[in-house]
Amino acid sequence: MSTEITEILDRLHACEAGLEMHRGYLKAMEYALRICVLTHPTPNDLSDAWHQLLPNIVAKHRGDSSDLFAAAFEQSLTVLTEQIGAPDSPS
């Protein structure tokens, strides 16, 4: 195997390792965030704030990066929105 191919393979393995590390970090944060949502002392306030901020969050990152980023970002926001839930309607 040539030196160039070996270097490319080494870089590829380093990228894969970095991605796996970040995947682990994100999974841990996902569980922490779930606990925060489930135990929030005022879930309706959390829901109100989330639904008010959500359009700005989406707009801020609309042009970011690739189609893969956009799809993952949208999927994650959808899951978070489902977990946080809709605010209670005023009675």
| Per-residue pLDDT tens over the stretch 40-66 | 999 999 999 999 999 999 888 888 778
Nearest CA among 36, 31, 56, 55 for reference residue 46: 36
Domain ranges of the chain: 1-39, 42-91
Mean pLDDT of 3-29: 95
Return the pLDDT at 64.
75
Banded model confidence at residue 1, pLDDT cuts 50, 70, 90? confident
